[in-house]
């Protein structure tokens, strides 16, 4: 087999977090790496690197994990942090443990703060991550906020003005859209991702956000029955919705 479009089993599996090269050798020796429903593989063998590998390669009795280029949709629970290394509960704890050891690493596309829940995307595709999070892409982020005090009526104009500058910042926010749902509930659409942006916007309007949830990114939303902590891989079609 030529080296074009092939990969060594130990290199592939260690980059996917299955273990060190040494551990992969042990796995192979015990006959737990199987190709095309029968061929027991040696760790040093090269196999074709193609999109159908997760269907063709079994590791410890299970199909190979998704190859790199994955996009994960998660319903982030309140109380978990979007960080690889902070103390406390991290959103990466929700995913399979070995996914923490993958190269390229899986990272969140933007962040939700610890007390914010809802739609969170993660990927190991750096180009896509940049495309979605760059303010130039103008991806709409839609949040539902529950407020401590009734809306005053001035927020729609203030947020839409393009002149609101948050405390400690020098550049005004891009115009944002506020839709009143009730006296103390609102939908807010922003195209930037500044630090604690929505909470700080309401603070600038003299209010306080008690609960915050991200409902949509572009036209992509969480399925109705998606519980906090639930996640799934997205198809190309679903990813495209983010840019609509």
Residues engaged in binding ligand URA (CB under 6 A): 112-113, 116, 196-199, 212
Conformation bin of residue 175: beta by default, left when phi > 0, alpha when psi is -120 to 50: beta
Structure token digits, residue 222:
């969480």
CB of 101 to ligand URA, least distance (A): 27
What is the rounded CA–CA span in Å between residue 193 and residue 74?
18
CB of 199 to ligand URA, least distance (A): 4
Asked if residue 220 lies in contact with residue 155, where contact means CB atoms within 8 angstroms, the answer is no
Compute φ and ψ for 147, nearest 5 degrees: -105, 150
Looking at beta carbons only, is 18 or 202 nearer to ligand URA? Answer: 202
What are the distances in angstroms from CA 34 to CA 38, 43, 195? Answer: 6, 11, 47
User: Catalytic: which of 10, 36, 65, 113?
Assistant: 113
Looking at beta carbons only, is 47 or 122 nearer to ligand URA? Answer: 122
Active-site residue flag, 93: no
Looking at beta carbons only, is 123 or 197 nearer to ligand URA? Answer: 197
CB of 72 to ligand URA, least distance (A): 18
Structure token digits, residue 198:
């929505």
Instruction: Classify 199 as helix, strand or coil.
Output: helix
CB of 196 to ligand URA, least distance (A): 4
Asked if residue 64 lies in contact with residue 27, where contact means CB atoms within 8 angstroms, the answer is no
Active site residues: 113
């Amino acid at each position: 087999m030529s080296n074009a479009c092939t990969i060594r089993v130990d290199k592939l599996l260690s980059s996917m977090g299955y273990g060190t090269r040494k551990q992969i050798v042990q796995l192979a020796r015990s006959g737990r790496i199987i190709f095309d429903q029968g061929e027991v593989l040696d760790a040093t063998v090269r196999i074709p690197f193609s999109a159908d590998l997760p269907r063709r390669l079994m590791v410890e009795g299970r199909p190979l994990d998704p190859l790199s280029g994955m996009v994960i949709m998660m319903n982030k629970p309140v109380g978990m942090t979007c960080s690889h290394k902070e103390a406390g509960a991290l959103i990466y704890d929700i995913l399979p443990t070995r996914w923490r050891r993958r190269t390229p690493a899986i990272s969140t596309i933007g962040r939700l703060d610890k007390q914010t829940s809802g739609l969170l995307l993660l990927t190991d595709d750096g180009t896509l991550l940049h495309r979605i999070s760059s303010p130039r892409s103008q991806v709409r982020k839609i949040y539902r906020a529950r407020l401590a005090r009734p809306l005053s009526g001035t927020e729609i104009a203030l947020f839409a003005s393009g002149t609101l500058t948050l405390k400690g910042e020098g550049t005004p926010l891009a115009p944002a859209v506020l839709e009143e749902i009730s006296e103390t509930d609102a939908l807010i659409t922003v195209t930037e991702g500044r630090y604690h942006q929505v909470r700080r916007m309401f603070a600038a309007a003299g209010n306080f956000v008690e609960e915050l949830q991200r409902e949509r990114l572009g036209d992509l939303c969480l399925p109705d029955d998606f519980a906090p902590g639930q996640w799934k891989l997205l198809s190309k079609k679903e990813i495209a919705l983010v840019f609509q």
